[in-house]
Each structure stands twice: as C-alpha cells, then as structure tokens.
Amino acid sequence: MSVYIPNILLAVPRNPITAVGLPIALGFLSGSPSSKVANSNWYHNLHAPPGQPPREVFPFAWSLLYLSMGYASHVAVKALDSSVVEGHRNALSTGLALYYAQLVELVAHQLRTLQTGLALVDSVLLTGTTWYMTKLLDRPTNGEASYYLFPYCAWLAYATYLNAGIWWLNRDGKVEK
C-alpha cells in the first residue's frame, strides 16, 4: 500500500536547493524560541547529564543536520521518480511521508523546550520516526539516503539521552524560570 503525498510535497525536494532550504528555514524559525531559552536563567540552572556539550555547539550541529536531512529528501524523491519496483515506490513514498512527519515533530519539540517531559516524549517519537524513515529509504536509494540520515539519527539518539537526563535530574520542578 502506497502512501499518498501531495504533489507540492514532492516538488519541494525535487530541487536540491528547496530540499535543503525547507528544513533550514523550519529549523531557524523553530530554533529561535529555543535560543532564547538557552540564554535564560532557567536553562543555566538546569542539572545536566554527563556529556552535555556547550550550548554553542547546537546551532552548528543542527545546521549541518538540516542540510543533510534536506539532501536525503532530495535523494529519496529522485529515487521515487525513477523507481519502477512497486515495493520500492511504497517504501519511498512512506519514507517521504515520515520525512514530513518528523519535520513537524521536530518543530513541536523545539517549541516545547521548557516542558521537559513533553519534549522528551517528542524526542522519543522523533527519534523512532527518523530511524524507521531511514530504514525505509535505505534499500530503494542504495544506501545513499541513509548515508545522509545516519548522523541525524545518531544525533537524535544523543539528544534523547540529553533530554531524558535533563528531565530526570530536574523532575522535582525546583528550577527557576
């Protein structure tokens, strides 16, 4: 069974510039509230788990990940356009639908930064969706989409660890906002 994707959502990743531009634009828009939080007293008073990088790392890491995931969507839609194998077409269309779903989840996660419990739920859903999307896109793109998505998957797993640690270490709710 193939998932229906509106033509506009297929047109965006057909062009590598718009494919990369969409996640960068969404990341910039949704990351703006997060950057304000990162400069707040609340953020500086949080207890962080071991291995948390300096906050200055996040904009650079996410920018590279947005570029990578955007290009992976370009690779996937090009494979969809040229695929004649029905099983591959199904995997590609489902993978592209999950790509858009994880973009929505990513924005929701960024907007829930102050709500560490909800952000953790978003992070777990985002990580699972992205790993499954990567698995679906692997074979029909001969591993090329996975090459671009694996760093994103690894970062999401790491971010989920950080989110879980922050939630756990601050669950008493005594951090000043």
| Residue range 39-68, pLDDT digits in tens | 677 777 889 999 999 888 988 999 999 999
The answer to whether 174 and 55 are in contact (CB under 8 A) is: no
Is 157 among the domain residues?
Answer: yes
pLDDT at 35: 64
Summary mean pLDDT of the chain? 89
From the number of C-beta atoms within 10 Å of its C-beta (0-12, 13-18, 19+), residue 136 rates as buried
Is 42 among the domain residues?
Answer: yes
Task: Give the domain extent around 100.
Answer: 7-47+56-169
Query: How many structural domains comprise the chain?
Result: 1
* The CA-based dihedral angle spanning residues 62, 67, 70, 76, taken in that order and rounded to the nearest 10 degrees: -120
Structure tokens at 84: 């004649």
Q: Is the pLDDT of residue 78 over 60?
A: yes
Is 71 among the domain residues?
Answer: yes
Is 2 among the domain residues?
Answer: no
CATH number of the domain encompassing residue 65: 1.20.1260
∠8-11-12 over CA atoms, to 5°? 90
How many helical (H) and strand (E) elements, i.e. helices and strands, does the chain have? Answer: 7, 0
CA distances from 35 to 16, 59, 88, 161 (A): 27, 9, 40, 20
Is 39 among the domain residues?
Answer: yes
| Predicted TM-score (pTM) above 0.85 | yes
